[in-house]
Amino acid sequence: MEMITGALLLMGITGTLLGVIIALFARFFKTDSDARVELVQELLPGANCGGCGKAGCADFAKSVVAGENPPSRCPVSSQEQINAIALALGISADSGVRKRAVVRCGGDMLQTKERLNYNGVCDCNAAAMVAGGPKGCRYGCLGMGSCANVCPFGAIEIVNNLALVHRELCVGCGKCAEVCPRSVIALVPADAEIHVYCNSPEKGAEKRKQCKVGCIGCRKCAKYSPEQFVISGTLASVNYEAASLPGEEDVEKIQCPTGALLSAREHHYIETHDPNWKKEEK
């Protein structure tokens, strides 16, 4: 019994003392903080992704309060959240276009024809320095996952040596695009549903040698809708500035001969979306 009371007493006294010390410190070494910064920080998602270009949400909150950045620079917050921040600060909430990353390459293990044995560090930047990496195509995704490693949201998955973006997780912070040595990853309007999954400016015949799903610049898509698609050289791409973006139903209608034009959903199943490829493989 004595022991218990003794222990309790000791703990009680120590606790009180420490509490007093903390209180004193809090009082005398107080730093003034802007209440607005704290408020903004609370309204921010707190992911500390760095997609805004600042070190983290706290840093971003400061810059928003200081007027250096509009609230819409935060790629993670929804429009409602941005409106809330703007309302709290009494500034106007401009609606920035939400972005999303897209990996402009469909060349996974099964689609890439020319593959070399690569032996070394599993990192895209390191691989790109060794004779241009293991894939025949020098413009496509290297598939070593440097983008997946830097993504703060776990939105990129490497399947069969190809980076796939999970649209529901991607907030368009752009870290992946920054780290990619091939600049395969582009930030596009979040509501774009279909993309040309190819990044190679090489001649069509060259591309066919290296890859089954490269865009050969046949202009089929541009003929279907000249406003929605642009062709530069032998590479087509969706015109993301067009008034209306093409939708999933357009993929069916265009019937891209190589299968480079896909919906983001189909990109995840690239190896199965044309049964003929697998037959060729065998």
Partner 1 sequence: MSKIRSFKGGMHPEYDGKELTAGCSVVDAPLFEKYYVILAENAGRPPKPCVAKGDKVCKYQQIAEADGFVSAHLHAPVSGTVEGIVEVPGPMGGNVQAVVIASDGEERGEPPFECWENWQEKSGGELMTRIREAGIVGMGGAAFPSHVKLSVPPGKKVDTLIINGAECEPYLTADHRLMAELPRKIVIGAAIMGKIINVSNIVIGVEENKPDAIAALEAACAGTSVRVQVLAARYPQGAEKQLIYAVTGRSVPSGGLPFDAGCVVQNTGSAAAVYDAVLLGIPLIERVVTVSGEAVKRPGNFRLRIGTPVIEAVKLAGGITEEPGKLILGGPMMGFAQRSFDVPIAKNTSGVLLLPPGRALNFSSAPCIRCGRCVEVCPMKLTPCLLCAAIEGGRFDLALKGHVMDCLECGACAYVCPSRRPLVQQFRRAKSELRKKK
Partner 2 sequence: MLEKMSDTIPEEMKLPTGSKLVLSSSPHVSASETLRKIMVKVIAALLPVAAAGVWLFGFRALLVIAVTVLSCVGAEALWCKLAKKSVSGALGDFSAVVTGVILALNLPATVPFYVPVIGAFLAIWLGKQVFGGLGSNPFNPAVVARVGLLIALPAAMTIWSPPRGMDKNYPQAEVFFGASMMEKVKAGDLDGVTCATPLGLMTDTRKIVHTGDSKELEAKAARNFDKVNSPELLKKYFWGVRPGCIGETCVPALLLGLAVLLFFRLVNWRVPLCFAGSTFLFAGVIHFFFPGVTPPALFHLLTGGLLIGAIFMATDMVTSPVTNWGCVLFGTGCGIITAVIRIWGNYPEGVSFAILLMNALVPFIDRLCTRSVFGSRAQGEEKK
Burial of 256: CB neighbours in 10 Å, binned 0-12, 13-18, 19+: buried
Count of residues binding partner 1 (CB under 8 A)?
13
Question: Is 117 near partner 2 (CB under 8 A)?
Answer: yes
| Residue 24 lies near partner 1 (rule: CB under 8 A) | no
> Which one of residues 8, 22, 121, 169 is an interface residue with partner 1 (CB under 8 A)?
121
**Whose structure tokens read 């979040």?**
190
Choose the binding region for partner 2 from 89-97, 119-127, 158-166, 246-254 (rule: CB under 8 A): 119-127
Q: Pick from 48, 63, 81, 125: which binds partner 1 (CB under 8 A)?
A: 125
Show Cβ contacts of residue 174 under 8 Å, excluding neighbours closer than 6 positions. 51, 75, 99, 101, 187
Q: At what angle do helices 35-43 and 57-65 cross, to 10 degrees?
A: 130
The answer to whether residues 204 and 233 touch, using CB atoms and an 8 Å cutoff, is: no
Q: How far apart are CA 248 and CA 225, in angstroms?
A: 14
Interacting residue with partner 1 among 56, 132, 152, 204 (CB under 8 A):
132
Task: Report the residue from 106, 107, 134, 140 that binds partner 2 according to the rule CB under 8 A.
Answer: 134
Q: Does 205 bind partner 1 (CB under 8 A)?
A: no
| Binding test (CB under 8 A) with partner 2, winner from 118, 153, 224, 277 | 118
Is 262 strand, coil or helix? strand
Q: Any contact of residue 244 with partner 1 (CB under 8 A)? A: no
DSSP state of 97: P
8-state DSSP, 98: P
d(CA 282, CA 280): 5
Interface with partner 1 (CB under 8 A), residue from 130, 183, 191, 278: 130
Segment lying near partner 1 (by CB under 8 A), choices 81-89, 126-134, 187-195, 274-282: 126-134
Yes or no: say if 190 and 132 are a contact pair by the CB < 8 Å rule. no
107 binds partner 2 (CB under 8 A): no
Stretch that binds partner 1, among 89-97, 104-112, 114-122, 217-225 (CB under 8 A): 114-122
In the complex, the residues that contact partner 1 under the rule CB under 8 A are: 116, 119-123, 125-126, 129-132, 138
In the complex, the residues that contact partner 2 under the rule CB under 8 A are: 116-121, 126, 129-131, 133-134
